[in-house]
Structure 1
Amino acid sequence: MMKKEQISLKKVPGWVLLLAAFAVLYVTGLHTEAIGQLQRLMLKTGLLNADVPEQAAGALLKSGSPAIPSASEAGVVGSGFQLTTLDGATVDFKSLKGKVVFLNIWATWCPPCVAEMPNIQRLYEKVGSDKIAFVMLSVDDRGVDKVQKFIQKKGFTFPVYMPAGLLPEEFSSEAIPTTFIISPEGKIVARQEGMAEYDTKEMREFLLSMAK
């Protein structure tokens, strides 16, 4: 009588096990969260804090790059752009003029977006003001239900929207997440491509100072 040969995990190459683990994460949709968790640890190092424009030198951003043209030079950003809330209501972006706007473009399938969202939620809670508007703009192509379930699962309370049409050219970017900070006059005063830590003393003070 032949003995059944038992397969030992010790005999399976490590790369096969690693590939199998990634396959399981991908099939279950957990790969985004797993990568996001690793990137969240990177944010905690403080090496990826968002750049804050120098208020005294309005012509230059902290990074040294030229400032984006003002509203008087290029018009109010987002004119004609409409947003849709997760409840289906339509909002004109121009209705936010007069407020400081923190606009973050993200998607549920984007690991760096997932990584930075908790620190954006903390920022939202700390700078709560009717003069500061948070626009968490999902460009998710999986539908509003997917986005709504994601937000509810995470317990985020910041306002979430989806574009009602094409993004304006001034909000176009080759990467997500991308974050824009817009002055009450409709001028983009900061732009950050890629994930960053926003819940910093410098960022909080900057947003509140513009909202005065």
Structure 2
Amino acid sequence: MNKNKFSIKNIPGWAVMLAIFGVLYLTGLHTEAIGQVQRLLLATGIKNADVPETLQNPDANAVADAAAVANSEMAGAGFQMVDLDGKQVGFESLKGKVVFMNIWATWCPPCIAEMPNIQKLYDKVGSDKIAFVMLSVDEAGMEKVKRFIDKKGYTFPVYMPAGQLPQEFYSNAIPTTFIISPEGKIVAKQEGMADYNTPEVQEFLQGMAGK
């Protein structure tokens, strides 16, 4: 009897995991798989987005101060974006609205993990006073981004840069999310994934929008 007969039971666990990951990588499914795991992490509530305490309940003085700078230059002034229909949009056209801007990419598992909750937030607060800018920095091109969005069924507005990102939107991490006031000032910045579909973020956005 051959004691060296091959058996799948003899394959080390690490080799099985390596093989599985290799298949996922070759098929392009590894990003989705990692994103799903990270989505479970978000569901625990330990990665909820931070809301600036000083802006949770803006008082009359804060509103007056904001009005005083309403005519100043907006963050991202001069920046041009392209939507998924190929239409060029100036970032400055959003001045006067609260802007929720998320910088993401299809190859980024944390980006994929937080997107379902961003869609839920958009469904709840998206309006003519609150604008969502889901800014893809994919270098593979617009068609890949469109396929991804269509596959997922997301309805929030998606754009791609038509030029270099303004310096104020640079970040050491992806995803990165910015919240910009109607006056064009960055009032919150979150690097890395987070759950934005929380009562705190909803109230924060609606409070700045005056709803």
Q: Please give the TM-score of this superposition, normalised by the length of structure 2.
A: 0.89
Number of corresponding residues? 197
2:6 corresponds to 1:24: no
From 188, 191, 194, give the equivalent of 1:193.
Answer: 191
SS in 2 for 1:26: helix
Distance in 1 between residues matched to 2:27 and 2:169, nearest whole Å: 32
CA distance in 2, matches of 1:15, 1:203: 41
How many percent of aligned residue pairs carry the same amino acid? 69
In structure 1, what residue type is equivalent to 2:115?
Answer: M
CA RMSD of aligned residues (A): 1.9
Which structure's residues are more often helix, by fraction? 2
Aligned counterparts of 2:26 and 2:33: Cα–Cα separation in 1: 13
2:106 is the alignment partner of 1:120: no
Deviation digits for residues 103-149 of structure 1, max 9, x if unmatched? Answer: 00000000000000000000000112110000000000111111000
Q: Distance in 1 between matches of 2:134 and 2:140?
A: 16
How far apart, CA to CA, are the structure 2 residues paired with 1:40 and 1:71? 39
Can you give the 5+ residue segments of structure 1 that lack an aligned partner in the other structure?
A: 59-69
* Aligned twin of 1:143: 141
Which residue of structure 2 aligns with residue 162 of structure 1?
160
Matches within 5 A, 1:33-52: 33-52=32-51
In the alignment, the residues of structure 2 paired with residue 7 and residue 26 of structure 1 have an alpha-carbon distance, to the nearest angstrom, of 27
1:57 shift after superposition: 8.1
Q: Evaluate the alpha carbon distance shift between residue 184 and residue 178 of structure 1 in structure 2; reply closer, same or farther with a 3 A threshold.
A: same
Partner of 1:103: 101
Asked if residue 13 in structure 1 is aligned to residue 17 in structure 2, the reply is no
Matching residue of 1:76:
74
Secondary structure of the 2:134 match is: strand
Q: CA deviation at 1:53?
A: 1.4
- Kindly state the Cα deviation for residue 8 of structure 1 after the two structures are TM-superposed: 1.9
Structure 2 stretches of 5 or more lacking a match? 59-67
Aligned residue for 1:173?
171
- Describe the SS at the equivalent of 1:75: coil
Per the alignment, residue 65 of structure 2 pairs with: none
- AA partner of residue 20 (structure 2): A
The whole-number CA distance in structure 2 between the counterparts of 1:188 and 1:153 is 32
Q: Secondary structure at the match of 1:33?
A: helix
CA deviations 1:73-130 (Å, max 9, x no partner) are x831010000001111000000000000000000000000000000000000011211
Shift in Å, 1:12: 1.3
Equivalent residue of 1:190, what SS?
strand
